[in-house]
Amino acid sequence: MSLFDKMDVSGHEEVVFCHNQDAGLRAIVAIHDTSLGPALGGLRMWPYKSEAEALEDVLRLSRGMTYKAAVAGLNLGGGKAVVLGDPKTDKTEVLFRALGRFVQSLNGRYITAEDVGTDVNDMEIVFQETDYCVGVHQVHGGSGDPSPFTANGVLQAIRACLRRRFDDEDVGRYSYAVQGVGHVGLHLVRLLREADAKVLVSDVDEEAVRQALELGCERVGVDEIYDVAADVFSPTALGATLNAETIPRLRCSIVAGAANNQLADDASGDELERRGILYAPDYAANAGGLMNVSIELEGYNRERAIRMTRTIYYNVSRIFAIAERDGIPTWKAADRMAEERIAAVARLKVPFLGQKPVRFEGRHGNHHPG
């Protein structure tokens, strides 16, 4: 399938290939849909096996960001950037500065942020060359680490699930199997333990597990986490952990976590539904980080970010209502909720054409990236 055919199928507006031989930069920026506003999505750096693999990833991820922003109620579209390279060995100042100049050339249609393989230090460099970068350090008016906000959003999704399944939102009354206690997972565990909930954890990182145990959690093996009897299973590590092999092993009533792309395929979502396991669609549950950085576009306020993540409770509840209304699984209801909002707003205005947000006026003075 040609690139244009792929864009036709996925509905992408724009795909930009960025190359700077001197900087060692090979990157792809994909803008999926700007009906709701400028495309916002992270900058991922990964040692892809081929350019084709990188293209597939950026197309998939950017489309996912459109749906995440739409369900979150944000006036943003979906985009993503991927850099072909090993984040452990290939990072340089000139590489990220070159990438920043390409982002600037898109005139605000795409706004970047940190993602897998990049961090706030890399964003500091990108930030030197573009007005369209969020998730930077607080000294620049940024929001810093988004992990606590992502975790708080997942907690709101869990509360919505508890209300739906048990007609009760008392987090501390139930038990949780948390798969992955990295940055987001550890913050989630802390919130659960503050409610005095029983929490079982697994992770390949011994230090991460140690910190979770200090919070009063119990440890189980990395593979055994699927077999734990718990009210809520929370995938908060890698994607595609819910699949034909793992779902039959689950002994939970609810699945709600922070990992991206939790379902290996659509059939996995259908199987959760068939087994009577209530699923909080991942991109609805983990939208807290996106909500947090989006506020930087208007002038960051931490209290406002915390309040915004609480709306995830209502977003997930609405997904359940749509699923019941239309007689469909919750994963499909989330897609429908996003598509209905995008279609409604798209009838009101043309795609976002690019303009400098008010916050960015004069931030760098008169800089003109070359």
Contact criterion met (CB below 8 Å) for 146 and 69: no
Strand partners, 279: 255
Contact criterion met (CB below 8 Å) for 95 and 21: no
Conformational region of residue 97, where left means phi above 0, alpha means psi within -120 to 50, and beta covers everything else: alpha
The CA-based angle 370-116-226, given to 5 degrees, is 165
For 57-78, give the DSSP string: HHHHHHHHHHHHHHHTT-S-EE
Distances in Å between the Cα of 274 and the Cα atoms of 33, 43, 247, 269, 306 are 32, 36, 11, 9, 35
Mark whether 80 is an active-site residue.
Answer: yes
Strand partners, 200: 177, 218
Contact criterion met (CB below 8 Å) for 184 and 309: no
Name the catalytic one among 80, 88, 349, 356. 80
Residue 288 exposed, middle or buried by CB count within 10 Å (0-12, 13-18, 19+): buried
Catalytic residue IDs? 80
